[in-house]
């Protein structure tokens, strides 16, 4: 999971730099592109984690219902 946190930190750094507006246009465009890529990767990771949580929850609910 460290990779997720590292990517999130990198994205936060990019957003912070872009919000300041101190970077040259070309560098800002490169950072924006990298930020979009990171956001997509993070979203995919979160979607996968959400699917796993839903599967565990569904399994747990079924197991609980079968015990009654």
List, for residues 27-66, the tens digit of each pLDDT value. 999 999 999 999 999 999 999 999 999 888 888 776 656 6
Q: How confident is the model at residue 67 (pLDDT cuts 50, 70, 90)?
A: low
Any long-range contacts for 41-48 (C-beta under 8 Å, 24+ apart)? 41/7, 42/4, 42/7, 42/8, 42/11, 45/4, 45/7
Query: Exposed, middle or buried: residue 50 (CB in 10 Å: 0-12, 13-18, 19+)?
Result: exposed
CATH number of the domain enclosing 43: 1.10.287
Q: Domain span at residue 25?
A: 2-67
Quote the number of domains for the chain: 1
pTM of the predicted structure, to 2 decimals: 0.78
């Amino acid at each position: 999971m460290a990779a997720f946190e590292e990517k999130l930190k990198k994205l936060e750094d990019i957003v912070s730099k872009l919000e300041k507006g101190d970077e040259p246009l070309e560098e800002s465009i490169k950072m924006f592109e990298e930020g979009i890529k990171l956001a997509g990767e993070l979203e995919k990771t979160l979607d996968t984690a959400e699917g796993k949580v839903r599967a565990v929850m569904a399994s747990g609910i079924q197991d609980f219902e079968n015990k009654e």
